[in-house]
Amino acid sequence: MMQFPHNFLWGAASSAHQVEGNNINSDWWEWEKRVGLKEPSGQACWHYQLYKEDFDLAKSLNHNAHRLSVEWSRIEAVQGEFSEQELAHYREVILSLKEHNIEPIVTLHHFTNPLWFAKIGGWKNKKAIDYFSRYVDKVVTALGDQVHFWVTINEPLIYVYKSYILGEWPPQKKSLNLARKITHNLAIAHIKAYRLIHSIYKKRSFSRPSVSIAQNLQAFVACPPTLKNKFAAYLGERLYNFGFVEKLMRHRVLDFIGINYYGPFFMEAHGWRLKNLLLEASRQEHRELKKNTLGWYIYPEGLYQLLIKLKRYKLPIFILENGICSQDDQLRWDYIRQHLVNVHRAMQEGVAVLGYIYWSLLDNFEWDKGFAPRFGLIDVDYRDYKRTIRESARKFAEVCKTGVLN
């Protein structure tokens, strides 16, 4: 039997574009149309309308926390014009969570940008940070009295990797120079947002907020463990997992470390050049490991290993995403259980973990992959938006209720 602390936060996450539907003023919406994405976001899960019902479901599953994002492109659909109506909507959403006794964890930027912002160069524009700060100011002024946990930017490095290195996501660039610049701008955007949020809370005498980013972590494993592969894994870990976090640590702008963990990256470099060392994952099959429907390996002990490494930063850790897309719901429960076993093990060894947030509450729009990957604790029938609680959700609900994992 494994016991978690009584004040542990348990719940699930979502992001606006992936669940709300009709996010028409965002760069993603425009991009989906322009490239003719086979399954565009469309109505998504209709969560913009159905959020109360969805929170009823989360409550019935004993969640005491929920991570959501507010959508910049709704709040500032036109440059410089902030919509009171949309701010009021998100206030209602947050108040609804609070009525359910569910702690909101609010993300300010989760991959999508307003279309106007993208059109002027997005995060490479000299004024990008000012625009983001102005938006943060509006949101935090409007919602700050109801929110304790803020996540400024979701997975800055995944965003850069997909949008500026692989060129798969909008704006589909492939430029290391640009990637470096955007990474830098995202770091500054966080630093400024962190300070701004704290200053707003101080000015208004709200109790001190907890602000962080959601850092995607991969377990980098040398495969096979040759010197070259070990070096590649070491580099990946330094640059990808910890470099950005350490930069923010130096500026003292993290109140906790928010992490998203899905699985491993097996490193097999075919040369000593930086490109080989940084970008080559093993093509070798790791047959003993199971995979999700997107082909990602399942490697729960990687979470333990990363948590132990994060201990040196002496900040509490919050698992803001961990999840699996699968049609096999037993595999989903095994995934959750195994990861929780590893979280518990790390906590026994002194790692302070605030909570565990599963990705995702509902099946949803998985970016360029459309609706096929099923990450939800709750199944969504996209023909009529009917929700059906999965068995794995009920098993997880028992843990959320008792804090005990058997």
Q: Which is nearer to ligand BGC, 263 or 316 (CB)?
A: 263
Between CA 218 and CA 259 the distance in angstroms is 10
User: Mask: binding to ligand BGC, 342-381, rule CB under 6 A, as x and -?
Assistant: -----------------x------x---------------
Q: What's the min distance (Å) between Cβ of 271 and ligand BGC? A: 29
Task: Identify the CA nearest to 173 among candidates 181, 183, 165.
Answer: 165
Do β-strands 210-222 and 257-267 pair in parallel, antiparallel, or remain unpaired? parallel
Is 69 among the residues that bind ligand BGC (CB under 6 A)? no
* Shortest distance (Å) from residue 168 CB to ligand BGC: 12
Indicate whether 15 belongs to the interface with ligand BGC (CB under 6 A): yes
Q: With respect to ligand BGC, which residue has the nearer C-beta, 274 or 289? A: 289
Per the CB < 8 A criterion, the answer to whether 361 and 60 are in contact is no
Among 86, 321, 334, 363, binds ligand BGC (CB under 6 A): 321
Could you say whether residue 158 binds ligand BGC (CB under 6 A)?
A: yes
How far, in Å, CA of 254 to CA of 247, rounded? 10
Query: Contacts by 238-242 with C-beta closer than 8 Å and gap 24+?
Result: 239/278, 240/157, 241/215, 241/217, 241/306, 241/309, 242/309
Task: By CB under 6 A, tell whether 260 contacts ligand BGC.
Answer: yes
| Contacts (CB under 6 A) with ligand BGC, residues 16-45 | 18
Give the span between the Cα atoms of 263 and 322, in whole angstroms. 9
Q: Which of 64, 210, 216, 326 binds ligand BGC (CB under 6 A)?
A: 216
Q: Does residue 183 touch ligand BGC according to CB under 6 A?
A: no
Using the minimum distance from each CB to ligand BGC, give the nearer residue, 178 or 294: 294
Q: Which is nearer to ligand BGC, 152 or 216 (CB)?
A: 216
Nearer to ligand BGC, 370 or 403 (CB): 370
Query: Whose structure tokens read 């409550």?
Result: 59
**Residue 149 main-chain phi, psi, to 5 deg:** -100, 120
User: Which of the ranges 153-161, 184-192, 198-206, 242-250 carries the binding residues for ligand BGC, by CB under 6 A?
Assistant: 153-161
DSSP E strands, 249-377: 257-267, 317-321, 353-359
Running DSSP on this structure, what letter comes out for residue 78?
A: B
Q: Is the CB of residue 41 less than 8 Å from the CB of residue 369?
A: no
> Per CB under 6 A, which region of 152-160, 237-245, 270-278, 340-348 contacts ligand BGC?
152-160
Report the residue number, 54 or 321, with the smaller CB distance to ligand BGC.
321
3-state helix, strand, coil split of the chain in percent (to 5) is: 45, 20, 35
Residues in touch with ligand BGC (CB under 6 A): 15, 18, 154-155, 158, 216, 260, 321, 359, 366
